[in-house]
Amino acid sequence: MTRKLIAGNWKMNGSLADNEALLRAVLAGLPATPTADVAVCVPAPYLAQVQALCQGTALAWGAQDVSAHERGAYTGEVSAAMLRDFGCRYVIVGHSERRQYHGETDEAVAAKAQRALAAGITPIVCVGETEAQRNAGQTEAVVKRQLAAVIHTVGHCVSEIVVAYEPVWAIGTGRTATPEQAQAVHAVLRAQLRAATPSERRVRILYGGSMNAANAAALLAQPDIDGGLIGGASLKAEDFLRIVAAAA
Ligand code: PGA
């Protein structure tokens, strides 16, 4: 069975002082050899701080976005090579907040995933339907279209990605998908990966969207849920650690 991955997504939260307190508390509560992989995806300006605090620990770190371009005249963007410089193991790509507020297309998300892979960083590719799409019976079609763009672009390297199923209606709302609802979509994604690579079992499919200390165990018990992408609950060390413990 694949080792589970619990990844925090701090979003645009934190400060030098808050990050240090949070990381020290997480590191103090993390077993020396956790039974799951654990990571935090932090705002880019704090990568050096997080690298310094987490180096040599069981806590990996990553970023929340990466440029689709390699280098050059792209003011404000951060390249995959820069993330690599700061020891990032992961980068979130195609989070629904970036698709929604920054107009990221499936093709742009795929290009970002490819840049990450080329730099030796694991992209955490987010897919998920809006509430309107779910109500219209389009959930399967939407997530398959989003993942298909990445498979098309990265080819056999798809075995090196992480997928995060994050129903948009569940993000930051306290309305978690039921374990059965999540599992149904994860099974669809797993079948799509199976058709794309013989190594589909290597690909972890995380659930994200109001996952918390209380509901994590039931979600993580589903056969195709290989971990979680945690927003709000990753900002509280105790909650985050309880989710990590549930991933044993
Ligand atoms: P949430 O966010 O856990 O606060 O719902 C998850 C995410 O957006 O990655």
Q: Give the tokens for residue 128.
A: 């998920």
Our answer to whether residue 95 is catalytic in this structure is yes
Q: Which of 34, 60, 26, 61 is nearest to 46 (CA)?
A: 61
Mind listing the domains of the chain with CATH numbers? 5-246 (3.20.20.70)
What number does the ligand 1 atom closest to the CA of 171 have?
5
Active-site option among 95, 97, 104, 129? 95
10-residue mean pLDDT series, the chain (248 residues): 93 98 98 94 98 97 98 98 98 98 98 98 98 98 98 97 98 95 98 96 97 97 98 98 95
What number does the ligand 1 atom closest to the CA of 232 have?
4
- pTM summary value: 0.98
The reported pLDDT for the residue numbered 126 is: 98
The reported pLDDT for the residue numbered 248 is: 80
Tens of pLDDT along 194-239? 999 999 999 999 999 999 999 999 999 999 999 999 999 999 999 9
Contact 227, 247 (CB under 8 A): yes
Q: Which of 241, 107, 101, 219 is nearest to 170 (CA)?
A: 219
The reported pLDDT for the residue numbered 1 is: 62
198 alpha carbon – ligand 1 mean position (Å): 30
Give the integer Cα–Cα distance in Å for 244 and 20: 19
Give the integer Cα–Cα distance in Å for 18 and 245: 23
